[in-house]
Structure 1
Amino acid sequence: MTIVAIIPGDHNGDLFLFLIPLLNELRILEDGGLKVICEDGFFNFKVHLLLASGDIIGVQELIHHKGHNSDYGCRQFHIKTDFGIVKKNEFVMLKFFHGYSFFGLNELHLIGSNVTKRLWDIISGQYGNLNTTFKLHSSACSAIGKVIMESNATIPSGIFEGIFRDVSQKAGHMRSVDWIMLLQCIVPTLVFEQLAETYGAYSEQVEALMSLVIRCTLALQWKIYANDVSAIQKYLHTWDLHMKNNVSNNLYTVNFHYLWHIHEIIQKLGPLRGYSTQSAERSIGFFKKHIKSQVLPGPNNGKIIKRQLLMHNFQRVHLMDELETVLEDGDAYSLDEYPDIELWDWKVMQLEDFDHLNIERYIRQY
């Protein structure tokens, strides 16, 4: 990913003081194109901006939206401009602007740090006497966290993007990718088991929760087919109907509402993973570590960006011969490489040591 600029973090200023020059250059590149001269000849490319995305607060600034707390809080429904939209959006000047879908949906923050975190707060009883329909006792939550920590010794770290943490004790230390893993791996197993014992496996609230898990899991795939989109809509209805009819209104936040639009965005832009902000978050983490100057952070930022661009260009130009590999014909349908060998913690155990896990029950039910 190429970093164009690092904008100062003062949210009281006007973001478009920085973006207008960039948008003007994009309009020139849309018409005149970009001329590239290389060993293979001369090429002229047109440059178009297809997406401008971020979390809910970030997009709110991009589209001049009053925010999700206004009377018309959703940025994707058709709303009256004098209520929700403060002024005309500058991105409409671009040729490839395609409406609300131009700003996408950020799965990292929407499903990760917002929906799943709020879901765990509901399950763990953080909202006191509010009607949440599914809530576990603190001992059950502690048991879930304990099993997660005991399982870490047998979980290969190279398979998962995040880290499995004791969610009952360290929820505040979990990142967005950790919350997504919790939703995909822990909720349908450990959390489901505890909820099934409390409310019953086929109770309305448990089925609604599993509908949410299935829908988000389908939406987070790299390949999504038409039947997957239909399934996302179906499971959406089950979850949303339960939330609106049974859960207190102030628990149904705008994050749960934006899940309504997942299938629409997928139909227009493709899988959510394809335009996730995970790469941007990694870049933010990189620059946070390397920007040291407190007096002149601007020049410091510029030097770091320039150094990174030079290093990436050097790798592409001078190390390309070493990076390119030619597959033989016999390898056309085989994997390019296998994952690196990982050393797990070892334990001396016997088959009888697993009797308390009741493996046969898990095989039959899950």
Structure 2
Amino acid sequence: MPKLSRNAQKYYCEMGCKLAFGTVRQRLNHYRYCRNSQSIRQPAAQQSNKTIDSYDSIFMSYNEQAEPLKYNICSSEANIFTKSELFSMVFQDITNTYSIPREATREIVRLFKSMLEDNLLSNNVPLENASCELKYSETLSNIMERETPIKPIKHEVCINGCMLYPKDDLAITKCQNKDCNELQYTSEGTIRCEMKMLPIGQQMAAMSANPTTRKLMKYRSQYKFQGGVYEDYFDGDAYKELKNQGLFAGEHDIALAMFVDGFTSTKSSQNSKLNIVHFVNLNFPPEVRYQENFTFQVAIIPGPNNPKSLLHTFLRPIIDELKKLSTSGMVVSVEGDKVCRAKVHLVMATGDLPASTDLAHHMTFAAKYGCGICQIKTTKVGNHVCFLGESNNISIRTKSQFVNPAVENNIGIRSAPIFCELPSFNGPAYFGLEEMHLFGQGLGKTLFDLVTISLKKSYNSSLKLIESDPELFPFYIEKQNLIEIGMLIENSKTTVPVSFNSNGQSCLKNLRQLKSILKNGVLFLKQEVERENIGSGVLKPTQHYLLHVEYMIQQNGPLRASSARSMERTIGKYKKLVKSKSSVGENAGNVLIRLANRFYISNLPWSISETVNLLAERPYDENSYENHPENSCQLWEPFFKYSMSSLPFGIDASKCVKPLKIFTSGIYQLALPAFFRQL
């Protein structure tokens, strides 16, 4: 083998032998030799005493992996970072929170360095004796990546983001997307495109090593069921069935939910299309579960193409690791002392309706069986495909239809989803029913379009409003009345409560009533379509999926448990941090690693703020605010407490209590059922 120059790109063997090659072809030949000789990759050399195992051999069968994955977390890692680096982490958190541009951040660091240097020189102190300084963002990212055990795994992907090339099938050297067919390597044998992916186990180990988060994660094992009440995922039949199968037997076993969605980092570039793989740890209590320091991401899939039917190729490394974590489990130690042993189970993989369709390997809504949950047949009305079948005869899909899809029966499943390989897979409920897109962007938008149709300059043909006889349209409201309603809403800003947090009545205690209300609403729309008072375009898939809300609540608990709101907030953060317009995928991968390292440090058994002795926030009291005689009353601090017997301004207690009861009775939560009841 020819010698490698120092400046030439090196391709290192990922099978543990530490050999370097000048071209990808040479490394591929080396892999073939290793496979033919039945050699098994040994665990990679330990990069520090913090990491014991990461990914094991991609060629090793899971029956051969008898021992659990082991992770050792150093509780003294605070000593690894200098005061300058810890202060720089706090500064980086501030710049990320307020989306301070990179150049502005550099100018601030340069200004701080200038002030520090001037102060030292004026006091005749040598610069090398400076105890603290701010690090540039790039320097700090390199330090965190070097010192933390979360090491990204590089994978070769299609240059257009269509698929991830498998490492165990060297015969695939061309994109499997028939509309792409791009080659994996250049004519010189170099890699055309790579992406970075993070291991799940190390991030779970950091959470389990921290005594505070480990105590919070006992929420699952200590959860108490209430008959007929659905308050969390663990009230659902899906979790109870997994428990009966022997899963979640350990106190520290972890339940994860995965969310997938696409987004664009910048509106000006078609190459900025990305897909995020986001995880939520269901072991945490709901009040903290969706906070960003308790959720994590393992991959940002580069574009510009949407993976769709080849999405499973990107998920293969993730599923392979989850198979190990769910069967062999992991052992977490702190300074060599074992603190817990746990298994990690993926209990849900979901997203909006298109994402769930791709994850389940389900055909499109326009297929013969267009619903991913039941086996209702689609009906074509004009140019629209609708679900007009009898809802009383809906047959829910079974687990076996996903595990062994009968293609010849044309039931709408292309092939077995990759999640069937996990012991926690349980059928259609596994892919969830995401409430934010279902109600907010789906049903909410449809209802708004229906009641505001008279405001549109041109009538919506899909809703079929006849201009000559608008009264036949069941949702018709005069334009002038809509304008007046809008003005009333605009003027009601001063009376809107500052908080909508209330102890509302749960509508999940009577699922039968909820199903009846939603069913009547869908049946009404079908009836109006048959009477030709409204166009068939109103019968979108979201209307049909309302009929499955009851089933999903019974299986997975309240829809909040499968909500993608935390993922959408994370997407918003990535949109602000991914600045590149040319190398979008590479930039997104670097942001992924930077945030993962920072969250890893935040979950360690020590606090940065306590280590660097940050100044406490400025305290406030009644004297901190100045009353101006020209300002009207506002709901700002400080708040004064009064008993009901001594309310100010001579207010009668009975008149105050009644509206408070109405507000806290959950009337806002029942707005949608009340709307359908009026129909």
Instruction: Compute the TM-score of the two structures, normalised by the length of structure 1.
Output: 0.66
Alignment-derived partner of residue 4 in structure 1: 298
In 1, Cα distance between equivalents of 2:411 and 2:635 = 56
Q: Are the counterparts in 2 of residues 293 and 300 from structure 1 also a CA contact under 8 Å? A: yes
2:333 to 37, 43, 64: 37
* 1:56-77 deviation digits (Å, cap 9, x = unpaired): 1111111222211222111101
Alignment-derived partner of residue 492 in structure 2: 151
User: CA shift at 1:255, angstroms?
Assistant: 0.6
1:300 aligns with 2:300: no
Alignment-derived partner of residue 560 in structure 2: 273
Q: Are the counterparts in 1 of residues 302 and 584 from structure 2 also a CA contact under 8 Å? A: no
SS in 1 for 2:333: strand
User: CA shift at 1:150, angstroms?
Assistant: 1.4
Output aligned runs, 1:7-86, within 5 Å: 7-9=301-303, 10-11=305-306, 14-38=310-334, 41-78=338-375, 81=407, 82-86=410-414
Q: Are the counterparts in 2 of residues 223 and 271 from structure 1 also a CA contact under 8 Å? A: no
1:252 to 522, 539, 548: 539
User: CA shift at 1:299, angstroms?
Assistant: 3.1
Q: Are the counterparts in 2 of residues 222 and 271 from structure 1 also a CA contact under 8 Å? A: no
1:235 aligns with 2:530: no
In 1, Cα distance between equivalents of 2:497 and 2:442 = 27
In 2, Cα distance between equivalents of 1:222 and 1:19 = 40
Alpha carbon RMSD of aligned pairs, Å? 2.9
In 2, Cα distance between equivalents of 1:222 and 1:280 = 27
In 2, Cα distance between equivalents of 1:46 and 1:223 = 33
In 2, Cα distance between equivalents of 1:311 and 1:141 = 49
Of stretches 144-153 and 32-41 in structure 1, the one that deviates more from structure 2 is: 32-41
Output aligned runs, 1:133-144, within 5 Å: 133-144=474-485
User: Could you say if the C-alpha distance between residues 97 and 116 of structure 1 is closer, same or farther in structure 2, counting changes exceeding 3 Å?
Assistant: same
User: CA shift at 1:320, angstroms?
Assistant: 8.6
User: CA shift at 1:129, angstroms?
Assistant: 2.0
In 2, Cα distance between equivalents of 1:119 and 1:259 = 14
Letter in 2 for 1:45: A
* 1:93-124 deviation digits (Å, cap 9, x = unpaired): 11010100001100000001111101111112
Identity, in percent, stands at 31
Alignment-derived partner of residue 289 in structure 1: 576
1:319 aligns with 2:607: yes
Q: Are the counterparts in 2 of residues 122 and 132 from structure 1 also a CA contact under 8 Å? A: no
In 2, Cα distance between equivalents of 1:278 and 1:112 = 11
Q: Are the counterparts in 2 of residues 53 and 103 from structure 1 also a CA contact under 8 Å? A: yes
User: Could you say if the C-alpha distance between residues 57 and 132 of structure 1 is closer, same or farther in structure 2, counting changes exceeding 3 Å?
Assistant: farther
Alignment-derived partner of residue 264 in structure 1: 551
Q: Are the counterparts in 2 of residues 71 and 83 from structure 1 also a CA contact under 8 Å? A: yes
* 1:29-88 deviation digits (Å, cap 9, x = unpaired): 111112211377332211110000111111111122221122211110137742522222
Q: Are the counterparts in 2 of residues 224 and 271 from structure 1 also a CA contact under 8 Å? A: no
SS in 2 for 1:86: coil
Letter in 1 for 2:477: L
Output aligned runs, 1:171-182, within 5 Å: none
Q: Which has the higher helix share?
A: 1
In 1, Cα distance between equivalents of 2:541 and 2:473 = 17
1:96 aligns with 2:424: yes
Alignment-derived partner of residue 108 in structure 1: 436
User: CA shift at 1:243, angstroms?
Assistant: 1.6
Q: Which has the larger radius of gyration?
A: 2
* 1:225-274 deviation digits (Å, cap 9, x = unpaired): 442x1221221232122122223433211110000000100001001112
User: CA shift at 1:296, angstroms?
Assistant: 2.4
* 1:282-334 deviation digits (Å, cap 9, x = unpaired): 00111011101223223322322222223323333333997xxxxxxxxxxxx
Q: Are the counterparts in 2 of residues 6 and 301 from structure 1 also a CA contact under 8 Å? A: yes
Q: Are the counterparts in 2 of residues 101 and 268 from structure 1 also a CA contact under 8 Å? A: yes
SS in 1 for 2:484: helix
User: Could you say if the C-alpha distance between residues 224 and 316 of structure 1 is closer, same or farther in structure 2, counting changes exceeding 3 Å?
Assistant: farther
In 1, Cα distance between equivalents of 2:505 and 2:431 = 19
Structure 2 gap ranges (5+): 1-294, 376-396, 398-405, 454-459, 467-471, 611-633, 638-658, 668-679
Letter in 2 for 1:319: S
User: Could you say if the C-alpha distance between residues 223 and 102 of structure 1 is closer, same or farther in structure 2, counting changes exceeding 3 Å?
Assistant: farther
In 2, Cα distance between equivalents of 1:148 and 1:319 = 46
User: CA shift at 1:156, angstroms?
Assistant: 4.0
User: Could you say if the C-alpha distance between residues 321 and 287 of structure 1 is closer, same or farther in structure 2, counting changes exceeding 3 Å?
Assistant: closer
User: Could you say if the C-alpha distance between residues 222 and 261 of structure 1 is closer, same or farther in structure 2, counting changes exceeding 3 Å?
Assistant: farther
Letter in 1 for 2:524: H
User: CA shift at 1:8, angstroms?
Assistant: 1.9
Q: How many residues align?
A: 269
Q: Are the counterparts in 2 of residues 222 and 274 from structure 1 also a CA contact under 8 Å? A: no
Alignment-derived partner of residue 118 in structure 1: 446
User: CA shift at 1:154, angstroms?
Assistant: 3.1
User: Could you say if the C-alpha distance between residues 12 and 314 of structure 1 is closer, same or farther in structure 2, counting changes exceeding 3 Å?
Assistant: closer
SS in 2 for 1:41: strand
Instruction: Compute the TM-score of the two structures, normalised by the length of structure 2.
Output: 0.37
SS in 2 for 1:121: helix
Q: Are the counterparts in 2 of residues 156 and 342 from structure 1 also a CA contact under 8 Å? A: no
User: Could you say if the C-alpha distance between residues 300 and 117 of structure 1 is closer, same or farther in structure 2, counting changes exceeding 3 Å?
Assistant: same
In 1, Cα distance between equivalents of 2:473 and 2:437 = 22
Structure 1 gap ranges (5+): 161-220, 323-340, 345-358
SS in 1 for 2:545: helix
Q: Are the counterparts in 1 of residues 331 and 338 from structure 2 also a CA contact under 8 Å? A: no
